[in-house]
Amino acid sequence: MDHPHGRGPELTALADRLRALPPSCGAVRLVAVDGHAGSGKTTFAGRLSEALGGAPVVHLDDLATHQEFFEWTGRLRDWVLTPLAHGAKARFEAYDWGARRFRGAREIAPAPVVLLEGVGAGRRAVRPALAALIWMELPAADARARGLRRDGPELADFWADWSSAENAHFAADPSRPHADLLVDGRTGEPLPPAATAPGDRSSGPLSGRLTGDSRRN
């Protein structure tokens, strides 16, 4: 676990604001949790899901593969976004990173809020379907060091390959400049409004609702 924090008032307030956003994918408010590998995305998404009363979470690790770290956009569209947009359950086989093949059944039901968690969740091709984009604020080097501690030295070569691909991805298609909210990758707590203005999306009304800064509404 990246941090020990439970559900605090800030997370409860954030959940309320997410529920109040307009739907973005059919009747679903699709909320992306993006950031560098090791930045705390999975842990934060789990906490946010709990604050939302058990909101479904789509993990992009289930759609990526060893050969295609970031070429999962088509699978996400066909397996998840299109069904949800039509009010249907998303059913697909998840990638097993040990067996190196798709074999784990997953089912994601339409819900008021569905979380999309993983590196690149806020990429250009996905943003039109998003109600909000959350970025885990932790430098890439710190996130990688955390991931290496978590996974052990036997995965050092994998991490080297992954980091190279991740750097190339974010150089070509950055998510952070489009974030509606930054979350501290060390504490898992939303950062104050003054810190959540990295780019164009955060200058609009959505950021104000997520941060609770009424001056932005």
Looking at residue 201, its pLDDT comes to 46
The residue length of the chain stands at 217
Contact 138, 55 (CB under 8 A): no
Looking at residue 216, its pLDDT comes to 29
Q: Specify the pTM.
A: 0.88
Looking at residue 125, its pLDDT comes to 98
DSSP secondary structure string for all residues of 149-209: HHH-GGGHHHHHHHHHHHHHHHHHS-SGGG-SEEEETTT--BPPGGG--SSSGGGSHHHHH
β pairing state of 132-137 and 29-34: parallel
Tokens of 84: 């949800």
The closest of 216, 152, 130, 141 to 185, measured between CA atoms, is 141
Looking at residue 5, its pLDDT comes to 47
Please enumerate in sequence order all residues whose Cβ is within 8 A of that of 97, keeping only pairs 6 or more positions apart, or say none.
Answer: 61, 66
Give the H/E segment covering residue 91.
strand 90-96
Running along the chain, 217 residues long, what does each successive block of 10 average in pLDDT?
56 96 98 97 97 98 96 97 98 95 96 98 98 96 89 85 94 97 94 59 46 41
Q: Which CATH class is domain 12-54+110-212?
A: alpha beta
Distance of CA 97 to the CA centre of its chain: 19
Looking at residue 147, its pLDDT comes to 83
Contact 60, 108 (CB under 8 A): no
